[in-house]
Amino acid sequence: MEKVKIYTTPACGYCKMAKSYFTEHGVEFEEYDVATDVQKRQEMFDKSHQMGVPLIEIGNELVLGFDKNRIDSLLGLS
């Protein structure tokens, strides 16, 4: 399975939904709280050129927001 990273903030409802979805489907992920981690916030901006969360990185692909269909496709869950 592709490596999954998720850039989040504590108040983000879609971030919580994405993390729950990953957990329910046994998808391991690394989480970065960009509200407190300035380095990861800059990394997220450098990759996506925006500040919206969640930003989900699956392999070399970026998914902005909780786009379940795209996530399923990239992870082979569909």
| Domain extent listing, the chain | 4-75
Task: Kindly report the CATH class assigned to 4-75.
Answer: alpha beta
CA distances from 35 to 13, 20, 32, 52, 72 (A): 14, 20, 9, 11, 27
Give the number of C-alpha atoms closer than 13 A to the C-alpha of residue 75, restricted to the C-beta side. Answer: 23
Sign of CA dihedral 68, 69, 75, 78: positive
pTM over 0.85: yes
What is the model's pLDDT at position 15? 98
- What six digits make up the tokens of 3? 């490596």
Position 31 pLDDT exceeds 80: yes
What is the model's pLDDT at position 78? 72
- Mean pLDDT, rounded, for 67-76: 96
Position 7 pLDDT exceeds 90: yes
pLDDT tens, residue by residue, 32-57: 999 999 999 999 999 999 999 999 99
